[in-house]
Amino acid sequence: MATNNEKIQELKRQLLASASYERWNNNTLFNIHFEKLGRFLYEIKNLGIFASQVAESVEKTSDNYGYKVAHLSEKQAYILAAAAVENGVYGDYEI
């Protein structure tokens, strides 16, 4: 069984991978990552904690027609992942 820190690190890795996914030749995987991250951010925003403000700021950088899914720093990813693990909210991400 993974410790909370291991879960946080794994979720952080997945969040960074989704956020940094780039659009190439109108690839449908871009839309999948965009929706996956969007649902996760929505769930975090509904918690009403500090991480909710971080989720709002990341959501403002996301663009379905942009080159990348969203701009997400390592620190933001860690805050979101820690809040998700503490509250049991993972969205569509597998931990």
pTM: 0.91
Read off the tokens for 87: 């509250």
CA 83/CA 64 separation, integer angstroms: 25
| Angle (deg, nearest 10), helices 50-61 and 28-45 | 150
Q: How confident is the model at residue 25 (pLDDT cuts 50, 70, 90)?
A: low
Residue 76 has pLDDT above 80, yes or no: yes
Task: Give the tens place of pLDDT for each residue, 78-87.
Answer: 999 999 999 9
Q: How far apart are CA 65 and CA 27, in angstroms?
A: 11
